[in-house]
Amino acid sequence: MMLRDVGLLLLRLGAGGILMAHGYPKLFGGPEKELPSAAAEVLGPNFPPAVKSGGPAAFAQNLAKMGVPEPEVAAVLSGLAEFGGGLALALGLGTKLAGPAVAANMAVAARTAHWSKGLYGQGGYEFPALLGVVGASLAMTGPGALSLDHLFGFD
């Protein structure tokens, strides 16, 4: 095992975990949803309200307000790109497909939801840009030896 592989593992786990946390409320949220207290404790006080106010329908409403076409479809695809793409990156499974899906989703998020605030600061596009670059970079470099892609010979 090389330090490069450990570095790629850390990058995948960090970005993948954050993407999953952002995608979860979009896919699985809703007013009736309750999180286990351990999950709320780990993810912080802002996560349970995000889950309660989330869900595909609520996210689709927000996308419609931004003028996104087919907001119901876009809401599910965005949630899948974030949660599913994050899970895939964290596991290093399907990295060459998950990376571009994450990068494309983050490019759309940066342009539609964050662009008007500029790069830097609260609500700016720095965070989606960073996650998009990570997704694109992992697609180009591969997930490293500490991954399911490597284990199954997909890298």
How does DSSP assign 127-147, residue by residue?
HHHHHHHHHHHHHHH---SSS
In angstroms, the CA 1 to CA 128 distance is 31
Tens of pLDDT, residue by residue over 52-99, are 999 999 999 999 999 999 999 999 999 999 999 999 999 999 999 999
pLDDT of residue 67: 93
pLDDT of residue 1: 67
Give the number of C-alpha atoms closer than 13 A to the C-alpha of residue 155, restricted to the C-beta side.
Answer: 21
Rg (CA), the chain: 16
In angstroms, the CA 148 to CA 5 distance is 13
pLDDT averaged over every residue in the chain = 96
For the residues 15-24, what does the mean pLDDT come to? 97
